[in-house]
Structure 1
Amino acid sequence: MLTLRLSNPSKANALDLAMLAELDAQVARVTGDASVRVVVLRGADGGPFSSGADIGQWAPMPPEVFARDWIAHGNAIFRRFEALRCPTVAAIEGICFGGGLELALCADLRVAGPGARFRFPEVGIGAIPGWEGGPRLARLVGRGRALEAVLTGREIDAALAQAWGLANLQGAGHGFEDELAALVQRLASVSPHAAALAKAAVLDDGRTPSFHAQAGAAIKASPDSEIGIRAFAARATASF
């Protein structure tokens, strides 16, 4: 497991260009290191995940620079993080607002602590969730709920996040770390080759008609397939 921590403590972990660059570097690192089976993205222990995108950086930008160097640049990095071959988990214990929520939505799964709060405040300051958070949220919770969250800026607590499907798990108190550790252990125990292809299949969402056949052939030809089939026949737990 690789844990990545958002750190900009003076601004409640607001995302700035330096943090985006570091995230991209870590994505490249994971891409080249097959030993990383799970990536956990989190903020301060018991504190904020991220207060959003650092307005101090993007507010002074002219529109064309903002579009290129902030929106398009950030989206390219977020898409690379979303497409990582291994499972990713966002561990959220405090505020997860704006651009921070958009980043959390790029993770495969989200675990919410009792103090987790989610919000898109952008329209209230004359902005939009530009890092594709709206459509990602809509795919998780449905168009109506996503529009409600984006257009009203309502705050969503951990319980409602789980009820909506925004959070996969909710852990209370010390149970948060237990839930997170158990989830990571489950993700790390499956076939890494199969996990990568299964994740890619979900992200492809049927857009490539031949994808599942090609992915199925690839995993069937891999050593993981033989390991899994032998374990199944022996009624044992496969070890990848």
Structure 2
Amino acid sequence: MGQLIAQRSAHVLTLELSNAGRANALAREMLAQLDAHVAQVNGDESVRAVVLRGQRGGAFSSGADIRQWGPMPPDTFARDWIDYGNAIFDRFESLRCPTVAAIEGLCFGGGLELALCADLRVASSAARFRFPEVTIGAIPGWHGGPRLARLVGRGRALEAVLMAGEIDAGRAHAWGLVNLACAVESFERDLQALVDRLASVSPRAAALAKAAIVGAQDPAVFYPAATRALKGSSDAEIGIQAFASKTAAVF
């Protein structure tokens, strides 16, 4: 049975994908747990960053658990797997605070679709990416194709989906699929540095800056309201005082 193992350290919540013997294949109960954590984080402003990962040194996720979705009739599959997963992925993508997918091993199919919902992706040199769906008569149904196209361009996304070939960490970084590619031996240190940086900036500013990029906002409405709210916050006061005194702001 799959699960998400949660660990809190200061302002950072780490969610570890765990489905023993299945290379962290995404089971329906794991999606439900992810959704519960999203709701919790949206109501807890003390969480400044969320890291989604597999077990240290192992796979991120081999994809959607075919043992669960394979036997489903078409209508049930469309409703209880595709629609259900897409609603959760959309909520994770629009989570209030920054999110990071930490990828060390294979990241295939639905697992790659989930990683694409994170704001940033950090990969070790051992990471491998692939959309294998067309080889088994399926498609990336959790909006993986369009999300990938927004990151790497239409041609590369079509290549990845239609050719179903593996993409190594170096190529993924060159494409823009991952933000940071690390040596295996420095992965944890480099990941921690990135997460520490995310957790050190103004949490209110980070949330609004993310909403401006990720959300479907009307700029004429969003920016006046967001900047007004931020300018009236304690974060703005801290930042301006730190700038004036030439010190680093501590939020």
Both proteins in one fold, TM over 0.5: yes
- State the distance in 1 between where 2:41 and 2:137 align: 36
- State the distance in 2 between where 1:208 and 1:20 align: 32
Match of 1:84 in 2: 95
Q: Structure 2 counterpart of 1:8, which letter?
A: N
The structure where strand makes up a greater share of residues is 2
- State the distance in 2 between where 1:173 and 1:66 align: 38
Task: Measure how far apart 1:210 and its partner are.
Answer: 2.0
- Give the count of matched residue pairs: 240
2:94/2:215 contact within 8 Å kept: no
Q: Say which SS state the counterpart of residue 131 (structure 1) adopts.
A: coil
- State the distance in 1 between where 2:250 and 2:219 align: 31
Q: Structure 1 counterpart of 2:52, which letter?
A: L
Match of 1:155 in 2: 166
Deviations 1:68-105, CA, capped at 9 Å, x for gaps: 10001001111111111111000000000000000000
2:169/2:181 contact within 8 Å kept: yes
- State the distance in 1 between where 2:167 and 2:218 align: 32
1:39/1:88 contact within 8 Å kept: yes
Match of 2:203 in 1: 192
Match of 2:34 in 1: 23
Greater mean deviation of Cα atoms: 41-50 or 209-218: 209-218
Match of 1:93 in 2: 104
- State the distance in 2 between where 1:52 and 1:204 align: 26
Q: Does 1:41 align with 2:55?
A: no
Moved segments of 4+, more than 3 Å: 205-209
- State the distance in 2 between where 1:135 and 1:233 align: 44
RMSD: 1.1
2:115/2:121 contact within 8 Å kept: yes
Task: Measure how far apart 1:206 and its partner are.
Answer: 5.7
2:58/2:105 contact within 8 Å kept: yes
Q: Does 1:114 align with 2:158?
A: no
Q: Does 1:74 align with 2:85?
A: yes
- TM, length-normalised to structure 2: 0.93
Q: Structure 2 counterpart of 1:214, which letter?
A: A
Q: Say which SS state the counterpart of residue 183 (structure 2) adopts.
A: coil
Deviations 1:126-148, CA, capped at 9 Å, x for gaps: 10101011111111111111111
Greater mean deviation of Cα atoms: 204-213 or 36-45: 204-213
Q: Say which SS state the counterpart of residue 9 (structure 1) adopts.
A: coil
Q: Structure 2 counterpart of 1:146, which letter?
A: A
- TM, length-normalised to structure 1: 0.97
Match of 2:140 in 1: 129
Q: Does 1:173 align with 2:160?
A: no
1:171/1:177 contact within 8 Å kept: no
- State the distance in 2 between where 1:216 and 1:34 align: 18
Q: Which blocks of at least 5 consecutive residues in structure 2 are unaligned?
A: 1-11
2:50/2:97 contact within 8 Å kept: yes
Task: Measure how far apart 1:192 and its partner are.
Answer: 0.3
Match of 2:232 in 1: 221
Task: Measure how far apart 1:173 and its partner are.
Answer: 2.1
- State the distance in 2 between where 1:117 and 1:196 align: 30
- State the distance in 2 between where 1:46 and 1:184 align: 18
Task: Measure how far apart 1:28 and its partner are.
Answer: 1.4
Match of 1:64 in 2: 75
Deviations 1:18-76, CA, capped at 9 Å, x for gaps: 11111111111211211111110000211100000011111111111111100010011
Given candidates 134, 145, 153, the residue that maps to 1:142 is 153
